[in-house]
Amino acid sequence: MLVEPIDILSTRFDDKLDEIETPEAKAAEMEHAIKHEIRVKLDENPVLYTSLKERLEELIARRKERQLTIEELLEEYRDVMEKMRTNAEEGAAHGFEPEQYPFYQMLASELEGFEDDNVKELTHIITEIIEENRVIDWTFKDDVKREMRKRIKRQLRASNCPSKQVESLARQLMELAEVHYKQIAY
């Protein structure tokens, strides 16, 4: 008999955890679910999920070294899960659509020292460039991707992005674009 997987972000997952009796089994279930969620969503939001992956690895190491009690570990895992759950709400609070927020997080992490309003504006401009340039199957069309990347780099330079970061940042933004803007809605 196969059991349907339960999304870690749903309240059903909390119900499933409540059914588990021992704290160690709860921690194992949470760890497995968090690892799975990170693996699945890493490409969608590399900034968030890379930081959560690093945090999870640190928690596992601290538990192995007996620096955390099982109760402390469970609380830390709940914090990680809560961060995953509230990410979309944070994006909306900043004025972003769900597909835009990972761009903002990437730009904010790469362009330290930039005013938040400038990063928000740059995010909107870059996602607009992507939306304007995408066509059916654009991810398979090198000429479309080349033009999109060129316009993104031009915008990064116009926004005073350090020249040594332009190429790398444009590449990362294009990778995000291929994940979030691959499909065209009709």
pLDDT at position 5:
67
Q: For residue 178, count CB atoms less than 10 angstroms from its CB and return exposed for 0-12, middle for 13-18, buried for 19 or more.
A: middle
Of residues 11 and 174, more confidence is placed in 174
- The band of 117, judged by pLDDT with boundaries at 50, 70 and 90, is very high
State mean pLDDT over 44-62: 96
Ordered by start, the domain boundaries in the chain are 11-93, 101-180
44: closest CA among 138, 184, 178, 135?
A: 178
Q: Is 113 left (phi over 0), alpha (psi -120 to 50) or beta?
A: left
State mean pLDDT over 21-39: 94
Enumerate the H helices of the chain as residue ranges.
11-19, 23-41, 46-64, 70-93, 101-110, 116-133, 142-158, 163-180
Half-sphere exposure of 100 (CA within 13 A, CB side): 22
Dig out the tokens for 48 from the structure.
Answer: 């968030």
Q: CA quadruple 10, 101, 36, 34: dihedral positive or negative? A: negative
- The band of 11, judged by pLDDT with boundaries at 50, 70 and 90, is confident
pTM of the model: 0.84
